[in-house]
Structure 1
Amino acid sequence: MIIEIKGIGIPNKGAELMLVAIMQAFESAGLKASFVSDVYTPYEARARYGLYQKGVLKFRGVDFSFLFRMIPAVLRRRYGVVINNEIDVVLDASGFAYGEQWGVDKLMERLSREIVKLKQQGKKIILLPQAFGPFPSRKFKKEMAVVLDNADAIYARDRVSKSCLDGIKAGKARLFPDFTNLVKVGETGVTRDVCVIPNHKMISMGAEKNYQEMLVRLVGDLLKSGRTVSVLLHEGKKDKDIADFIVDTYKGQVELLQSDDPLEIKALIGSFSIVVSSRFHGLVSALSQNIPAVATGWSHKYRELMLDYGVESLMVSDGGGYDALWSRVELLLDASVLEAHRRKIANSSEELKSQSMAMWKDVFSFLEKG
């Protein structure tokens, strides 16, 4: 079975974690599959995960991909290239790609223009992105209807996403949690105190204009409270700019943690007592390891995640400001309150992991039908 993974934006660590989750799920189920990435995935990333390269060659608007068909299959495989008609399944694991924040053009470019052709070619199409919606315009709904009509299976991650999809075609999407909660990691052997995970999109998406100043103030107040603080870099340069600013502000008092390995990042998050995260998969990595986390976010997905784990009271609403952030963090500085939240999260986590396993069972049952 050859599976094309769409929407995995390596080296985005959240996307990599989704890729690892997919590969671990297939391995655990004993299903043999080869995975193919799109042409924009860097070679180093493909090599790290053993991904094949989709044979696509376009130059100045002209598609020369047919040239790959002229190369014998055995030779293509030697160079790690798979052509379109060899692909059996298309699995879309996009992040926040299908909603008004990104516009209808992204939906058309990534999925709705192609899905009819994929269906006609007999490929199985499975959608399990992080979020759907909202779909504000008639054009957006029309394009999404094309997707819903042609996808074989759609898994929504949260109630808001499912509601948006049901508003176009009721009952097509099924509700399951974020499946990276199943990703297995080792232990670091180190116990840490408070982790802060920044996300520059809090600024660019307009969720909090004073975001960087809020984090600097938060770290300062935590240090005054006698806590040990680390800043963890979950993504790229723009997040690092914020992280470096915080670390430079409190020279020698704050540790910066970073890694190119998403499994190591999840393991690091699991070593903390408290996490404050604006990165979605930073939150999932904390909560799925029973670590109480305070969330700030710019999409409905964040609040829905906190609801799933029964800790929506630890969500800071858009534009909530510093007082709202500190009140939630300060709450967790009380050991008894922290432990109560840990127990609540643990109860929810087990149920959510069961649901994720049920989703994969459903996916594999569908694929095995041939």
Structure 2
Amino acid sequence: MTAPHITIIGSALAGNKGASAMLESAIQTLSPRVPGVSFTLLSMYPEEDRAQNVYENLEIVAAQPRQLGVTINSLALLYRILPPLRPLLRQRSKAIGALAKSQVLLDQGGITFTDGREKFLLYNVASILPAMFVKTPVFKCAQAIGPFTNPVNRRAARFFLPKVHTIVTRGAKTHEFAEGLGLTNLFAGADYAFSLELDGTERDEVSKQFDMSFFESGTVVGLSPSVVLQKKVDARDGDYIGQTADFVKHLLESGRKVVLLPHSAREGSTKTHNNDLPLCREVFERVGANENLLFIDKELPSQQLRYIIGECDLFVASRFHAMVSALAMAVPTLVIGWSHKYQEVLEMFDAEEWAMPHSEAELGALVKRFEQLAEARTEVATSLQKHLPTVRARSLAQADLIATIVTDRTA
């Protein structure tokens, strides 16, 4: 019997904690379903990921964009067309070795093959092509794809996506886009991060760095800004940092407490890719120190961030997986987004009315909409609790699908 092995790409432990939540959900859910399974992460940030890896059955292999796009893809092509070289390639390349011994590749890219994101299209293809060359099935974990009106994106999607074993759609709009493209290899699921389990140590760990008595009185509002949204707002001559700071001031002046929480953070780095920490620091400086403002100024594990979010009474999210964590903890959430990927998840909770396009989220409208959410807080929280079991079941279903593929291919 072949030893069970799974390779993963598109997620991480370091930096983007949404990516971490997806990766750790896969490890948590698949380890008991596939006894003895081991994992390889093809990592964009190998050193950072290795430093944060606490899983004995997870190996981190370097796969930075250029290395993935040129080296790994080229070696995978050689593996396909020159069978005599295969033993040498498996031995010399950790990435090829991992793919060759895997029963499945999990693609955990959160949003792929989408109009308006053509600059990421090459990476979307490069992430799955080596597995196809090596003839390892590709399983796209729950993600957003489409729309496909751009000719370049449409051609790429029509060529590559039918070759994927299974595509788990993350919501109704994505499923509609995928069916419109003629895809039949679909499963209507929910984001893998809804399956993330807390282990009960989160409060003690967070308390070592932050005063958790902050949450014991008053109304606490969590806020997770996004550098992705900042770029979109500033590109239309807006002032995202100023607007966010003014919104925080409004919350404080209304007598509420605020937790400023970067859900994607890379400590020690000034680069903004997958890093909301510099943005949050600027917002904090604009607002000024305040006893009712708690700034989570460190990179915390995804479980600890979810615990903090769950301690909030209300939440305002621009980071997608900050929204997922808030929904998973049944915290009433106002979402300021830029893609259908936000609204389609809110629809699973009958909460789509609490999504705001960033183009409409000027300060006055944002304050008005937030106050409406605050007024409906109890009703919204009840609705979230009602829908959570169904959403979690849809999230966990993909673990069963993956386990079946692995089991069938190891028999």
Which residue does the alignment assign to 2:28?
24
The answer to whether structure 1 residue 183 and structure 2 residue 196 are counterparts is yes
State the 1:153 CA deviation: 1.0
**CA separation in 1, counterparts of 2:396 and 2:343?**
23
1:319 and 2:359 are equivalent in the alignment: yes
Residues 79-132 of structure 1: CA deviation (Å, up to 9, x unaligned): x994542233111000223212320x63344326953x6345331210125211
**Compared CA separation, residues 109 and 81, structure 1 to 2 (3 A):** closer
Q: Which has the higher helix share?
A: 2
Query: What CA distance in whole angstroms lies between the structure 1 residues aligned with 2:125 and 2:70?
Result: 19
User: Residue 130 of structure 1 aligns to a residue in which SS?
Assistant: strand
In structure 2, the residue matched to 1:249 is: 286
Unmatched runs of 5 consecutive residues or more in structure 1: none
Question: Does 1:232 pair with 2:232?
Answer: no
Aligned residue in 2 for 1:204: 231
CA distances 1:297-327 after superposition (whole Å, capped 9, x unpaired): 1111111122111222221123112222112
- C-alpha displacement at 1:61, in angstroms? 6.2
The answer as to whether partners of 2:165 and 2:185 remain within 8 angstroms in 1 is: no
Match status 1:215 vs 2:244: yes
CA 1:27 to 1:283, structure 2 compared with 1: closer, same or farther past 3 Å?
Answer: same
> Which residue in 2 is equivalent to 1:294?
334
Change in Cα spacing, 1:202 to 1:355, as seen in structure 2 (3 Å) is same
- Find 1:150's aligned residue among 163, 167, 173: 163
Cα drift, residue 205 of structure 1? 3.0
Could you state the TM-score of these two structures normalised by the residue count of structure 1? 0.87
Seen in structure 2, the aligned counterparts of structure 1 residues 47 and 232 have a Cα distance that, compared at 3 Å, is: closer
- Does structure 1 conserve the Cα–Cα contact (< 8 Å) formed by 2:43 and 2:49? no
Corresponding letter in the other structure for 1:351:
T
Aligned residues: 363
Distance 1:310 1:121, change over 3 A: same
Residues 60 and 328 of structure 1, relative CA distance in 2, 3 Å threshold? closer
SS of the residue 2:256 aligns to: coil
Cα distance in 2, alignment partners of residues 60 and 343 from structure 1:
46
What 5-or-longer segments of structure 2 have no aligned partner?
79-84, 205-211
Question: Residue 111 of structure 2 aligns to a residue in which SS?
Answer: coil
Residue 364 (1) aligns with residue 403 (2): yes
Q: Could you list the per-position Cα deviations for residues 22-64 of structure 1 after superposition, in whole angstroms to 9, with x for gaps in the alignment? A: 1111124243322112253323413533432448796996779
Q: What do the CA deviations read for 1:194-247 (whole angstroms, capped 9, x no partner)?
A: 111110111323487332222112111111111111201111354223312222
Q: Distance in 2 between matches of 1:233 and 1:60?
A: 30
Alignment of 1:268-347 (within 5 A): 268-320=308-360, 321-334=362-375, 337-347=376-386
Residue 76 of structure 1 and its aligned partner are, at CA, apart by 9.2
